Amino acid sequence: MSNFWKDLSKPIFTLAPMEDVTDTSFREIVERLSDPKILQILFTEFTSVDGMNHPKGRPRVSERLEVSSTEREILNQQNFKLVAQIWGNKPELFHSVAKIITEEYNFDGIDINMGCPVKNVVKNGCCSALIDQPELAKEIILATKEATHLPVSVKTRTGIRAHTTEAWIEQVAQTKPAAIILHGRTQRQLSNGLADWEEIAKGARVRDAVSPDTRFLGNGDVLSMAHGVELTTQYGLDGVMVGRGIFHDPWLFNPTITTPSIDEKLTQLILHTQLFEKYWAGKKNFNILKRFYKIYTNDFPNAAKLRAELMETSSFEQVYQIAQAAKLSYAENPVD
């Protein structure tokens, strides 16, 4: 398989991997709403290489790599690329899981998480903790590349306590990954403060010198397609990755829909709930869904009241009843 990263039109737009967010049901919603000429790549949730290598842990951990039949159909029809993201700190396990993903799944690429700042992950020497262990980080990337013909990318941050962007990105770029996605915050910042795009630009210039064939994307505070294009041009990047921006606007990757109607928002809320119920009922906690309801219930009269009602639900059926009643009410009393 060729390195699809090289064939993508620029600016490249991707949807970030997010824990308890980018499962197959939400990805399907985004794919249905997006223009495939704009959004080109989506990622799975974070998948532990330790869990995938554990006989008892693998069934549960592998849920993060599930792709529903309806999502697969959309991926094939629209040519979206889907990348499996993995994390851990043992090169031999990355090698093993990369082989599993390559041989047993149907992904277009593998991404290595070297950016997650969550405390219980970092204390075990994983994800963004690898910024302080560049030799181990390089071993992990090379072990993953060795095990697969799929393109291997790396998502990371600008440093641990302070920006060390140039020194760190030089280490990563030496392994010649297919792509580097750089979040413009340090590990210590978590999601606080503004992403530093000047630091992202520094990383891109290192890429230019060390591994010019590696695609380089920036990540952090991208809230619209126009903003993504502007950042790509201003800082000399190949594209951007959108994370929390999708919560502000799930139609972000579709320039033809700037102001979705109330009926459209509630239609997507119901569909998302149906997809979640179909794939995850009895497997995942129903309350995970509630974090999504705010993205469909905003910027219209009584949206806050509707959102509050949805937050009190405890079953799929309650959600359907409330949402359908709201659709009927707004249809009978249209808002200008």
What residues act catalytically?
A: 116
Whole-number Å distance between alpha carbons of 202 and 94: 28
Whole-number Å distance between alpha carbons of 229 and 26: 24
CA angle 152, 158, 208 (to 5 degrees): 60
Residue at 246: amino acid letter: I
The number of residues making up the chain comes to: 336
Residues 6+ apart with CB under 8 A from 106: 67, 72
Output DSSP code: residue 145.
H
Whole-number Å distance between alpha carbons of 334 and 329: 8
What 3-state DSSP class applies to 220?
Answer: coil
Residues 6+ apart with CB under 8 A from 327: 262, 263, 266, 267
Place of tokens 């620029």: 10
Locate the DSSP E strands across 105-223.
109-114, 152-157, 179-183, 215-219
Whole-number Å distance between alpha carbons of 140 and 86: 11
CB atoms within 10 A of CB 244: 14
On the 0-12 / 13-18 / 19+ scale of CB atoms within 10 A, 231 is buried
Is-cis flag, bond preceding 11, omega within 30? yes
Whole-number Å distance between alpha carbons of 131 and 144: 17
